[in-house]
Amino acid sequence: MNENFNNTRRARTLGIVFLVFAALMLVLFLPGTTGSQRTTFAFDLELSQALPIGSLTFSTQGGLYLLAVVAVFLGAWQLAKGFKQVYLILGVVVLMFVLAFLTWAARDNSMNMTGMLQATLLRAVPITLAALSGVMCERCAVINIGIEGMMLMGAFTSALIGSLSQSAWVGLLAALLAGGLMGALLAVLAIRYKVNQIIAGTAINILSTGLTSYFGSRYLQSIPELNRPLTFGPVPLPVLSRIPIVGPVLFTNTVPVYLMLILVFVIHVMLFYTRWGLRTRAVGEHPKAADTLGVNVLKTRYINVILGGMVAGLGGAYLVLSSVARFDENMTAGRGFIGLAAMIFGKWSPIGSLGASLIFGFADSLRTNLAILRVPIPSQFLLMAPYLVTMIVLAGVVGRAVPPAADGEPYEKQ
Amino acid sequence: MSAKDATHKTAKNKMQAHRSHKRWRTLLTPLMAIVTALILGAIVIAVTDISVYEAFQQGVGAGLLRVVEVVATAYGAFFSGAFGNPARMVRGLSIWITTGDGRAWVQSLYPITETLRYATPLIFAGLAVALGFRGGLFNIGAEGQYFIAGLTTVFVGYALTGVPWFIHAPLALLAGILGGALWGVIPGYLKAKTGAHEVINTIMLNYIAFRFAEFMLDVGGPMARGDGRPVSPFVQPSARLAQFFPSNPDIRFNIGFILALLAAVFVYWLLFKTTVGYEIRTVGQNPRAAKYAGMSVARTIVLTMALSGGLAGLAASTDILGVIGFMPNAFSSGYGFDAIALALLGNSHPFGVVLASLLFGALQAGARNMQAIARVPLDLTDILQGLIIIFIAAPAIIRALYRLRPAEGGEEVVMTRGWGQM
């Protein structure tokens, strides 16, 4: 009864939220425009193998009205009848709001949407990998707050070994090893010594920051040859890379990006459709029951946490081997923590984590695009927006995120 | 009768001996943790010094000698940077007594005052996180609260003029408390009302605070000094915190440290001697039980986050009013994450946090001297801090290393359970 009441109330709130978004599109973006202004969205990238499809030019005000009308319609439908997949519709409405913003920002100008999507995906890669690392660990009830540190170790090792070996692949493997080692450290502390997992993770963060910065300033700064790794170049997939928009965004990437996309899919399938996943989730929710049924709780945790560390190491390697081609002190810059937020936002699922990471990636990519368009809003406020949206969405609709039941608790065999 | 008395007495003696032994034991493990971390740090220093390798080419003896030399130089600089040079102190003191000129004596105290100065914001930030832990909340947002409090403090500090110091300085401190508390209340309220996770919201608010401060202090921004640098104006002299050694401008040790100690006493009193503190701890341990006992869980969560944010805010206030005198744009302090470590090391107890902060303060001050004199990168502190946390958190490692017997009885306090969910 109460549940039902809550559901209708939530449904109504969401309908109103859709209408508010529609109103905001008009109130925020319409005043600064004139009827003669036109917006151009381009879709072709230079030096791309994709088939050209040209660009789309339309009246700025017309575009804004169209988006607002569709949002009003969705809101009215939600209030009157209700959508089944209401969160999907919420996503669509938020996306339309973003489109309205871009329509306004690119008035009398042209914006390359394919470039925007590409940048969004690339910036989301390290965040997604961080979140996946968290998912791997927390699904078997080990909290991993040391992702940031594991990524740093991965980044440092890939730069050093990638330079010494003059091979990006060897650098990548070294990063996986370094991340796995830090994962093993977390596992030993959390499982064998039953250290409070948040302490263990914090210690790993501080230790990794110290180790990478210390050895970085001792060696990488004084001997530049040690900080010049070979990097991965983009590998366009045959045929697929020729599809417009999708081709350049998804199928013309470097190896670590493909690995990330594959990992999201593989971990999702493994977690929800295989015996290993069932065991992992059982260990995360009710270790005692899992133990009774013959699952080796401790072994499951060791394996998952070490694999999680390797995934985080891959995230660090991405930053070095396909992004900036060198190691800098603290270059992860909080991405491990954003990844944690993405994991919680994505409700501890790989696909949800990817979705949340894309939001943060989009935020990151706005920085460069808006600088080009010379938007009159202080850039700082635009850069705040995605964090604000995350908070609002979290408070308004997602609400309580429920972690695995045994998350953070050491297991003692009786 | 007398025999019985005697056995009674020996039993009592034994118990007393046992108790003092136990107290010694509880101190021994952290001490050995620090020593072990320093030994590992020494290995890192020696292994990464090129002159050591050159010396080993001349022979094992020369190599080992060089190792001792390198480590002794580094750690000598480290300890004199953290605690001062005893010989200089004695010399300064004797000059003061014989000639009445105390300047050399004051200068010799510089290292130890630096340790205390570094410890001051750490105490506030550590208390903020510890208080949150006690209330079952994981406040990763000390960093953001620090930023907002910096803005409010510095604004009151420079915009208010013509006020006597005994009004101005407290007002500026209060502004910092309120700014930090506001930034703490937001995730607290969202958690209490909607269940939105405070870990995400405090991380999000960190970034929002960072951008907001950047906007306010950016060249041409509302709070920029106007000389083409992204920094705030200087606060009025009346808002500055009193210095202990105003005659020596090198020494920036100020009453902020005393305020930090008072804050620790306040948090202790609040947590363990008041009804509010009891409610915070109950909500932290078992929100359901707290609810059935008639406590308002939502109100307690908001209050805990407000107090936590206010404490983190004081870290910024004392930094600005006591040390820097203005707010720079790139204010990133890293206190937010150090604070987590401090709260954990101090077992979420206010006095434990003070001890841990003093340790970290000494590491900071010592490492700066070590970098200047022995050219060992500053980042060694992070390595040492990480190792110390690991060894203190996993005493079994230390016990195994030194063949110590395990301490009897449960000693661990549960501080954080999982994500602190309700």
Q: What is the ipTM of this complex?
A: 0.84
Considering chain B, what is the average pLDDT of its residues?
86
Over residues A104-119, the mean pLDDT reads 85
Distance CA B111, CA B122 (A): 17
- Is B337 close to A202, i.e. CB distance below 8 A? yes
A14 touches chain B (CB under 8 A): no
Query: Three-state SS for A179?
Result: helix
Distance CA A82, CA A18 (A): 12
With bands split at pLDDT 50, 70 and 90, how would you rate the model's confidence at B155? very high
φ/ψ of residue A41, rounded to 5: -105, 115
- Is B193 close to A395, i.e. CB distance below 8 A? yes
Over residues B360-388, the mean pLDDT reads 90
* pLDDT exceeds 70 at position A398: no
What does each C-alpha distance from A319 to A130, A136, A156, A310, A323 come to in angstroms?
12, 21, 10, 15, 5
Judged by CB atoms within 8 Å, which residues 277-306 of B form the interface with A? Answer: none
By C-alpha distance, the chain B residue nearest A402 is: B421
Over residues A245-273, the mean pLDDT reads 91
Distance CA A275, CA A31 (A): 57
Considering chain A, what is the average pLDDT of its residues?
86
User: Residue A253's pLDDT is what?
Assistant: 87
With bands split at pLDDT 50, 70 and 90, how would you rate the model's confidence at B150? very high
CA distance A218 to chain B (A): 7
- Is B419 close to A408, i.e. CB distance below 8 A? yes
Bridge partners of A253? A235
B201 touches chain A (CB under 8 A): yes
A184 touches chain B (CB under 8 A): no
CA distance A20 to chain B (A): 20
Chain A residue numbers with beta carbons less than 8 Å from the beta carbon of B389 are 199, 202-203, 206
User: Hey, where are the domains in chain A?
Assistant: 2-107, 115-374
User: Do B193 and B261 touch, CB atoms closer than 8 A?
Assistant: no
A51 touches chain B (CB under 8 A): no
Chain A residue numbers with beta carbons less than 8 Å from the beta carbon of B44 are 214
User: Residue B300's pLDDT is what?
Assistant: 94
CA distance A52 to chain B (A): 38
Chain A residue numbers with beta carbons less than 8 Å from the beta carbon of B386 are 203-210
For chain A, give the percent of residues with pLDDT over 70.
95
Name the least confident of A134-148, A321-335, B267-281: A321-335
CA distance A185 to chain B (A): 10
A392 touches chain B (CB under 8 A): no
Over residues B317-327, the mean pLDDT reads 92
With bands split at pLDDT 50, 70 and 90, how would you rate the model's confidence at B421? very low
* pLDDT exceeds 70 at position B416: no
Highest-scoring range by mean pLDDT, A272-281, A322-331, B199-208: A272-281
**Which site among A13, A140, A199, A393 would you substitute to test the B interface, given the most B Cβ atoms closer than 10 Å to its Cβ?**
A199
Q: Which candidate from B193, B201, B416 shows the least CB-CB separation from A196?
A: B416
- Is A403 close to B199, i.e. CB distance below 8 A? no
Over residues B264-289, the mean pLDDT reads 93
With bands split at pLDDT 50, 70 and 90, how would you rate the model's confidence at B16? low
With bands split at pLDDT 50, 70 and 90, how would you rate the model's confidence at A40? confident
Q: Which fold is adopted by the domain A115-374?
A: ABC transporter involved in vitamin B12 uptake, BtuC (1.10.3470)
By C-alpha distance, the chain A residue nearest B399 is: A193
With bands split at pLDDT 50, 70 and 90, how would you rate the model's confidence at B103? confident
Exposure b/e, B196-234, CB count within 10 A at least 16 = b:
bbbbbbbbbbbbbbbbbbbbbbbeebebbbeeeebbbbb
Pairing of strands A235-236, A252-253: antiparallel
Highest-scoring range by mean pLDDT, A203-207, B64-68, B177-181, B220-224: B177-181
Judged by CB atoms within 8 Å, which residues 70-99 of A form the interface with B? Answer: none
User: Residue B25's pLDDT is what?
Assistant: 66
Chain B residue numbers with beta carbons less than 8 Å from the beta carbon of A184 are none
Q: Which residues contact A349 (CB under 8 A, 6 or more apart)?
A: A135, A268, A271
User: Do A307 and A135 touch, CB atoms closer than 8 A?
Assistant: no
Say if residue B288 is exposed, middle or buried (CB neighbours under 10 Å; 0-12, 13-18, 19+).
exposed
Q: Which candidate from A204, A218, A407 shows the least CB-CB separation from B377?
A: A218
Judged by CB atoms within 8 Å, which residues 337-366 of B form the interface with A? Answer: 337, 340-341, 344
Which tokens belong to A205? 């963060």
A211 touches chain B (CB under 8 A): yes
- To 5 degrees, how large is the angle CA B352–CA B357–CA B363? 135
User: Residue B412's pLDDT is what?
Assistant: 43
A341 touches chain B (CB under 8 A): yes
Bridge partners of A107? A39
**Which site among B49, B202, B211 would you substitute to test the A interface, given the most A Cβ atoms closer than 10 Å to its Cβ?**
B211
- Is B383 close to A210, i.e. CB distance below 8 A? yes
CA distance A278 to chain B (A): 21
- Is B418 close to A189, i.e. CB distance below 8 A? no
Which tokens belong to B364? 């900071």
User: Do A18 and A93 touch, CB atoms closer than 8 A?
Assistant: yes
- Is B218 close to A380, i.e. CB distance below 8 A? yes
What does each C-alpha distance from A225 to A162, B5, B295 come to in angstroms?
11, 79, 63
User: Do B249 and B323 touch, CB atoms closer than 8 A?
Assistant: no
φ/ψ of residue A375, rounded to 5: -75, 135
* pLDDT exceeds 50 at position A28: yes
- Is A344 close to B190, i.e. CB distance below 8 A? no
- Is A391 close to B211, i.e. CB distance below 8 A? no
A377 touches chain B (CB under 8 A): no
Q: CA nearest A140: which of A306, A267, A336, A279? A: A279
For A179-209, write each residue's pLDDT tens digit.
999 999 999 999 988 888 888 888 899 899 9
Q: CA nearest A155: which of A105, A213, A110, A108? A: A213
Q: Which candidate from B382, B385, B415 shows the least CB-CB separation from A213?
A: B382
- Is B418 close to A396, i.e. CB distance below 8 A? no
Name the least confident of A289-298, B366-375, B413-422: B413-422
- Is A340 close to B341, i.e. CB distance below 8 A? no
User: Residue B331's pLDDT is what?
Assistant: 53
Chain B residue numbers with beta carbons less than 8 Å from the beta carbon of A9 are none
CA distance B280 to chain A (A): 21
B250 DSSP 8-state letter: T
- Is A387 close to B48, i.e. CB distance below 8 A? no
Chain A residue numbers with beta carbons less than 8 Å from the beta carbon of B190 are 391, 394-395
Query: Three-state SS for B28?
Result: helix
Q: Which residues contact B319 (CB under 8 A, 6 or more apart)?
A: B120, B121, B150, B256, B333
- Is A394 close to B394, i.e. CB distance below 8 A? no
User: Residue B251's pLDDT is what?
Assistant: 86
User: Residue B10's pLDDT is what?
Assistant: 58
Chain B residue numbers with beta carbons less than 8 Å from the beta carbon of A143 are 418-419
